[in-house]
Structure 1
Amino acid sequence: MRKREVLLFLLLGTLMLSGCNKKTEENTIESTIAVSNSITEIDTSNMFSDRDKEVGYEESESVAISLVDDSSVCESDAVVITENTVTIKEEGTYILSGSLSNGMVIVEAEDTDKIQIILNGVSISNSQSAALYVRSADKVFITTASGTENILENNGTYVVIDENNIDSAVFSKSDLTLNGEGTLTVTAQEGHGIVSKDDLVLTSGTYVITSASHGISGKDSVRIANGSYTIVSEKDGIHAENTEDSSLGFVYLAGGSFSITSQQDGISASSWLQAEDGTYEILSGEGSARVQNQSSGEDKPMQRTFQEEAEENTTSIKGIKAVTQLVLNGGTYNIDAEDDALHSNGNLAVKNGTYALSSGDDGIHADSNASISGGGIDIIKSYEGIEGLSIDITGGEIFVLATDDGMNAAGGNDSSGFEGPGFGGDQFASTEGAYINIAGGVLRVNASGDGIDSNGDITVSGGETYVSGPTNDGNGTLDYSGTAQVTEGIFAAAGSSGMAQNFDSSSTQGVIMINTDPQEQNTNIVLLDSNGTELLNWTAEKEYSSIIISSSEIKEGETYTIKAGTTEQSITMDSLVYGNNSHGGAPGSSGGERGDRQGDGMQRKPGKEQDSGNIL
């Protein structure tokens, strides 16, 4: 559970009062999303046309344009050449070769015209505008010829030449598709790399993009089917944003290979983002390295400074971000993000794929629901591992390493539940709609804060869950402010005893909670039945003095032995739940009459029944 000193509350209160009218870049993009646990199904069947993917062309039926400084040549009346500016005026296919050291190719055709431009060993740089500018057309296709190297570059400034705000090396007012079997290098010393003020589609080819702002940007959408992309950007690597229509501004990724180094978000969408496949290497900002004690081995929550908290509200530096929903159906992801690795302002779903996530904040974050139904997820570094208003785990293999909570259902928003002195409200109260549901998969949590923390309910109805930590008595392996019920599956947890909570009496599967003498990390915890048969054998990754075990093998009326490091305890299950809940249940509730039989009868900290809310 995130904990802050009173000073932080007061400082943030002052900031909110003084800066409540300040518009930040992230706030401009990230609109308010209604709370909902459902993912909207997106029809992706028509994302790419056949021509989007077609890289072939008939040379005999194409118009050749030879680019030479002050001497460019074309024999077609459909092309107008004025000094170093080449303007294409009519529908057709145009093959460009040669170079312009300070020039521009402009497409200025009818709104019904489709134009294909073949880059056949082209180099165009422009010191005052875009190297390639689509002023008007229905749709333009830029195709790199097989085996060719092509360069489009802006050298640092943009001079107004018409009513359009040209701000990229490749700039299009119309639908734009890039494909091919060659390489295109795009450099923008100022502004963006490639921009379409409509739909931007990329289906094949190799791209090397370096930009002072966004690398690839589409107003209505960015759609990528395949290809190889190396992007170094001072803002977002891939960016889609439409402030006029909330259904647009989306990113759809069907495949491709991506290496993105961005100073802001790796991939960002102002509406939805969905990936089916692909390989993604993303470094956003300084990555997780900014968290000084993330991998120091110190078993205490990392305390971020007030300045760091404030800076997070001004710049978005996430790995992959969507405003309405983020859906990942497959792919391979290696993300090192200064902020959240995966982030949605609405719902987030991981259905398949392989993930190695390092984050300076949350590994996976959703303001509404975060759900994982498949895939392999390794959250290597995080402040909190998985956070959302609600969390559903129904499949997958998941490992979480967190310097604070492993899983946290607490209002979703990064500052949710933050109602300290002067803010009004009860920061320890339950949050409406908050829950954690574990129904399948294999989940391993290593946390320095609470292992599994819900401002509402916790339900375990399947799968295998193993929790190591915390070791400090200010947190517990379980922390909840509603109910905690286990009905099926395997649940094993080992951590500190000072704030230990057990599952409650609504559970229909046997569960045992005991305290032990302090045990070293990486010691085995073994559960045996009365015949000495081993029912569970698990290695706790941290030091511990409290154990929770639940399994379908634990039956009421039976006797069990728990061996934990140097200790051994025998337990008779007088009811399905053994070991008192620190909420302080009455006899018969959560094994209430055995409240002093959890191993050492130690006193609980007073007020723990209120210490279940996520403060920040």
Structure 2
Amino acid sequence: MNSRSIFKKSIVVILISAFFIAGFIACFRFFTSNSKSGRSFDAKSVPHSQIPYEITSTITLNGKKVNCDKKYVSQVSNVAMITEGGNYCIEGYLDDGQIRVFTADEEVTLILNGVDLRCLNMAPIYVESASNVTVYVPDTTTNSITCAEIGTYESALEAATYTNNSTNEASAETSENKDTPVTKKGVIVSECNLSFKGGGTLDVFGYMRNGIHARDSLYLEDTTINLTTTNNGIKATNDIIVTSGHYDLASVGDGLQADGNLTINGGTFNITTGQGSASIEKKSETPPTFDGAGMSPDAAFGNSGMPPMPPENANFGDSGMPPAPPADANFGDSGMRPEPPADATIDESDGSMSSDDSEDSADSSGSGSSEESKKKTKKSEKLSRKAIKASDTLMINDGSITIDSADDGIHADNSIVINGGSIQIASSDDAVHADNSLIVTGGKLNITDCCEGIESINIDISGGDISVVSTDDGINASGKKAEPIINISGGKVYVNSEGDGIDSNKNIVITDGEVYIDGPSNSGNAAIDVGIEDGGILVIKGGIVTAVGMSDMLDVADESSTQQSLTYVFDEYLNEGGIITIIDNSGKLISQLTLKKNCDSIIFSSPDLVEGETYTFTCGDVEGTLEATKINATNHESFQMNFPGPTTTDASKKDSKKESKKESKTDSDSE
């Protein structure tokens, strides 16, 4: 064998060996990166020269261990303890461990420079003692912090699943535990003020309770935070102030929650709570209709909406009343029907009863303990799924916010103030709710789906662009703490509701702005509804108001109004797609609108209307006139408390007028 052949074989052996070694290394990396720890995250770091802090110490995470180049950090088991103030740069991967801060009232900055930190049974970052702590995430870096295993999250999410037939909400069992130590209450937990800065990215996976929890105040700026958690996403025991940043929050509980005040001055938010608004059947306070809709097939009550009278040949005897129970009916000594047992529980929703006996039988059949069911129900009532929530005042000055929530979209136990920003909400309950007052001065609020759109005791709208689509009331002022009132003095308001369009349990005052309401087509609600029973009135002093709906519950403007309004009820029901026009004596078009729903009435007010003028209302071949003889001119007859749905009298009246009009037209044609 010549030397040339030997050389070739040597080259082949070397190449095969190289491929084998490379393959081994690749396989090793693959299996280690996808080991039991589930690590697949590729963190990105930057050189220390790009970090705008003088680094006190660098903490290097090496899989199972923690290394530090200075004495300020001590390690006990898998916990790295920072004991003095300063700027600590954290880098690398830790499979199961914790960074803990315990200083004597000093400031600490934690620089996350390409970190993949995991902890199975406690918060991966826990600030036990310090004056203030800042988490700095350098630009272009990517970081991941995970608490517990994903199985916990999946269980919580499964418990948060709603179905139309489900009556139990998710139990907080998986994410709430009173016996859990403070170090287990989230992914990043701080007992002092906590700030986030820097333009990098931080992924937070909270498979055990909250994601980020500051037990003082919390400040958010610049950072991109992608968060998934079994309970609250970002929470502060005191205030939260957001200046900027990007926040994608998916939480089983509340998304962004402050037990004090919450202020948003900027930033981009995408928040989903529970499994979103579509996971729950919308709540509704809309009264039922009695025209057969929603009833069993054999329960059609006709146009009257009332149950049918008994047949004329029904044999009730001389009294004319239904027969009494037979004399041998066993009602005991009292002669009355027996009372339900003392231990019976009555379901308020359907009036059904159950007793301890029935619960015991349920247990024996394997359906679960009633005591456990009560506990679960109690816990479920505590689990809140609001997207943005404050216990005091919630203020939005700017920012872009998109919400899909299984509870209220924006909620405050006290007040909400919206001065700016772009907000889009889909909610299974109220889109925006404040217990006391709600003020809108600017911004764009687009509510695409909800039960009630905007709700509070005192609602004041002076600016902004508001659009509401709701299955119940669009804008609702109600409550017992004070007299409800809705003031609209500017901005643009559009409501498309299945319940009342704009509803106040007392007064509604409109002094400026543009208000357009596509009210309900069910006659149990109105486009504009005031609390007449409590002395409430609708006052129109300015602006442009257009409200279409049904006339059964119609409220007209009060005579104390200072701008001319017209409330007109058509002789016939108008169908969706029809075009209503309002024309003055000179033939000038005052207003024109296309109907999105069936209706029979319109309230219209504008500075263009003139007292004493006669106006013509048309929709297809339906036409009528109304003279503005007074400030609140109307052809509407006095308010009557009717059952929902057109009564026989109302229906006959409209049908009679319709037939009369046809006959008149026929006679005119023959002439």
Provide the C-alpha distance between the structure 1 equivalents of 2:463 and 2:64, rounded to a whole number of angstroms.
63
Q: Aligned pair in 2 of structure 1 residues 206, 553: CA closer, same or farther (>3 Å)?
A: same
Provide the C-alpha distance between the structure 2 equivalents of 1:134 and 1:314, rounded to a whole number of angstroms.
27
The answer as to whether partners of 1:97 and 1:122 remain within 8 angstroms in 2 is: yes
Provide the C-alpha distance between the structure 2 equivalents of 1:238 and 1:106, rounded to a whole number of angstroms.
19
Q: Aligned pair in 2 of structure 1 residues 568, 258: CA closer, same or farther (>3 Å)?
A: same
Q: CA deviation at 1:147?
A: 4.3
Query: In the alignment, which residue of structure 2 is the partner of 1:160?
Result: none
Measured against aligned partners, the alpha-carbon deviations of 1:477-515 in whole angstroms (never above 9, x if no partner) come to 121121111111111111111111111211111111121
Provide the C-alpha distance between the structure 2 equivalents of 1:64 and 1:584, rounded to a whole number of angstroms.
77
Of residues 209, 229, 234, the one that matches 2:225 is: 229
1:203 to 2:197 alignment: yes
Query: In the alignment, which residue of structure 2 is the partner of 1:25?
Result: none
Paired residues for 1:506-517 under 5 Å? 506-516=560-570, 517=572
Letter in 1 for 2:266: D
The answer as to whether partners of 1:114 and 1:139 remain within 8 angstroms in 2 is: yes
Q: CA deviation at 1:55?
A: 4.8
Of residues 466, 472, 477, the one that matches 1:404 is: 472
Provide the C-alpha distance between the structure 1 equivalents of 2:109 and 2:230, rounded to a whole number of angstroms.
30
Letter in 2 for 1:339: D
Query: In the alignment, which residue of structure 2 is the partner of 1:279?
Result: 268
Q: CA deviation at 1:164?
A: 11
Provide the C-alpha distance between the structure 1 equivalents of 2:554 and 2:216, rounded to a whole number of angstroms.
50
Of residues 321, 329, 342, the one that matches 2:389 is: 321
Letter in 2 for 1:192: G
Q: Aligned pair in 2 of structure 1 residues 345, 132: CA closer, same or farther (>3 Å)?
A: closer
Q: Secondary structure in 2 aligned to 1:167? A: helix
Q: CA deviation at 1:90?
A: 3.4
Paired residues for 1:105-120 under 5 Å? 105-111=99-105, 113-120=106-113
Query: In the alignment, which residue of structure 2 is the partner of 1:547?
Result: 602
Provide the C-alpha distance between the structure 2 equivalents of 1:265 and 1:602, rounded to a whole number of angstroms.
56
Of residues 538, 543, 550, the one that matches 1:484 is: 538
The range that moved more, 267-276 or 95-104, is 95-104
Q: CA deviation at 1:131?
A: 3.4
1:394 to 2:462 alignment: yes
The range that moved more, 508-517 or 520-529, is 520-529
Provide the C-alpha distance between the structure 2 equivalents of 1:376 and 1:210, rounded to a whole number of angstroms.
32
Structure ranking higher in strand proportion:
1
Paired residues for 1:576-591 under 5 Å? 576-579=631-634, 584=639
Letter in 2 for 1:550: S
The answer as to whether partners of 1:299 and 1:448 remain within 8 angstroms in 2 is: no
Paired residues for 1:143-182 under 5 Å? 143-145=136-138, 147-155=140-148, 165-168=181-184
Q: Secondary structure in 1 aligned to 2:386? A: coil
Q: CA deviation at 1:434?
A: 0.7
Q: Aligned pair in 2 of structure 1 residues 345, 511: CA closer, same or farther (>3 Å)?
A: same
1:56 to 2:49 alignment: no
Letter in 2 for 1:143: Y
Provide the C-alpha distance between the structure 2 equivalents of 1:98 and 1:549, rounded to a whole number of angstroms.
67
Provide the C-alpha distance between the structure 1 equivalents of 2:234 and 2:416, rounded to a whole number of angstroms.
19
The range that moved more, 133-142 or 463-472, is 133-142
Q: Aligned pair in 2 of structure 1 residues 302, 380: CA closer, same or farther (>3 Å)?
A: farther
Q: CA deviation at 1:397?
A: 1.3
Measured against aligned partners, the alpha-carbon deviations of 1:402-458 in whole angstroms (never above 9, x if no partner) come to 1111111111xxxx6xxxxxxxxxxxxxx8421111111111111111111111111
The answer as to whether partners of 1:504 and 1:581 remain within 8 angstroms in 2 is: no
Of residues 378, 383, 401, the one that matches 1:333 is: 401
1:466 to 2:516 alignment: yes
Of residues 494, 498, 503, the one that matches 2:557 is: 503
Measured against aligned partners, the alpha-carbon deviations of 1:222-262 in whole angstroms (never above 9, x if no partner) come to 21122111111111111122xxxxxxx11111121111111
Provide the C-alpha distance between the structure 1 equivalents of 2:539 and 2:192, rounded to a whole number of angstroms.
50
Letter in 2 for 1:198: C
Paired residues for 1:412-451 under 5 Å? 432-451=482-501
Q: CA deviation at 1:316?
A: 1.5
Measured against aligned partners, the alpha-carbon deviations of 1:58-105 in whole angstroms (never above 9, x if no partner) come to 46xx43444446775545343434554443333444444444434444
The answer as to whether partners of 2:123 and 2:189 remain within 8 angstroms in 1 is: no
Structure ranking higher in helix proportion:
2
Letter in 1 for 2:269: Y
Provide the C-alpha distance between the structure 1 equivalents of 2:255 and 2:135, rounded to a whole number of angstroms.
24
Provide the C-alpha distance between the structure 1 equivalents of 2:190 and 2:656, rounded to a whole number of angstroms.
65
The higher radius of gyration belongs to 2
The answer as to whether partners of 1:317 and 1:337 remain within 8 angstroms in 2 is: yes
Provide the C-alpha distance between the structure 2 equivalents of 1:503 and 1:309, rounded to a whole number of angstroms.
45
Letter in 1 for 2:628: M
Q: Secondary structure in 1 aligned to 2:499? A: coil
Query: In the alignment, which residue of structure 1 is the partner of 2:39?
Result: none
The answer as to whether partners of 2:123 and 2:186 remain within 8 angstroms in 1 is: no
The number of residue pairs the alignment matches comes to 480
Q: CA deviation at 1:581?
A: 6.5
Provide the C-alpha distance between the structure 2 equivalents of 1:438 and 1:521, rounded to a whole number of angstroms.
28
Q: CA deviation at 1:547?
A: 1.2
Q: Aligned pair in 2 of structure 1 residues 311, 450: CA closer, same or farther (>3 Å)?
A: farther
1:343 to 2:387 alignment: no
The range that moved more, 250-259 or 123-132, is 123-132
Q: Aligned pair in 2 of structure 1 residues 511, 56: CA closer, same or farther (>3 Å)?
A: same
Q: Aligned pair in 2 of structure 1 residues 127, 536: CA closer, same or farther (>3 Å)?
A: closer
Q: Aligned pair in 2 of structure 1 residues 141, 550: CA closer, same or farther (>3 Å)?
A: closer
Provide the C-alpha distance between the structure 2 equivalents of 1:396 and 1:254, rounded to a whole number of angstroms.
21
The answer as to whether partners of 2:282 and 2:428 remain within 8 angstroms in 1 is: no
Query: TM-score, normalised to structure 1's length?
Result: 0.71
Q: CA deviation at 1:317?
A: 1.3
Provide the C-alpha distance between the structure 2 equivalents of 1:403 and 1:64, rounded to a whole number of angstroms.
56
Q: CA deviation at 1:278?
A: 1.3
Q: Aligned pair in 2 of structure 1 residues 539, 279: CA closer, same or farther (>3 Å)?
A: same
Of residues 606, 615, 621, the one that matches 1:560 is: 615
Paired residues for 1:282-321 under 5 Å? 282-292=271-281, 306=349, 313-321=381-389
Query: In the alignment, which residue of structure 1 is the partner of 2:451?
Result: 383
Root mean square deviation, CA, Å: 3.5
Query: In the alignment, which residue of structure 2 is the partner of 1:174?
Result: none
Of residues 83, 102, 118, the one that matches 1:125 is: 118
Letter in 1 for 2:84: E
Letter in 2 for 1:528: I
Query: In the alignment, which residue of structure 2 is the partner of 1:192?
Result: 186
Q: Aligned pair in 2 of structure 1 residues 467, 135: CA closer, same or farther (>3 Å)?
A: closer
Query: TM-score, normalised to structure 2's length?
Result: 0.65
The answer as to whether partners of 2:554 and 2:639 remain within 8 angstroms in 1 is: no
Letter in 1 for 2:214: G
Provide the C-alpha distance between the structure 1 equivalents of 2:656 and 2:380, rounded to a whole number of angstroms.
41
Q: CA deviation at 1:311?
A: 8.8
Query: In the alignment, which residue of structure 2 is the partner of 1:49?
Result: none
Provide the C-alpha distance between the structure 2 equivalents of 1:217 and 1:329, rounded to a whole number of angstroms.
23
Provide the C-alpha distance between the structure 2 equivalents of 1:311 and 1:97, rounded to a whole number of angstroms.
40
Percent of matched pairs sharing the same residue: 32
Provide the C-alpha distance between the structure 1 equivalents of 2:656 and 2:264, rounded to a whole number of angstroms.
51
Measured against aligned partners, the alpha-carbon deviations of 1:286-330 in whole angstroms (never above 9, x if no partner) come to 3221454799xx998999x95999998432211211121111111
Letter in 1 for 2:392: T
Letter in 1 for 2:580: I
Letter in 1 for 2:514: E
Query: In the alignment, which residue of structure 1 is the partner of 2:43?
Result: none
Letter in 1 for 2:434: A
The answer as to whether partners of 2:227 and 2:233 remain within 8 angstroms in 1 is: yes
Of residues 236, 240, 263, the one that matches 1:240 is: 236
The answer as to whether partners of 1:299 and 1:403 remain within 8 angstroms in 2 is: no
Provide the C-alpha distance between the structure 1 equivalents of 2:379 and 2:506, rounded to a whole number of angstroms.
29
Query: In the alignment, which residue of structure 2 is the partner of 1:270?
Result: 259
Query: Structure 2 stretches of 5 or more lacking a match?
Result: 1-49, 153-178, 296-347, 351-375, 641-649, 658-671
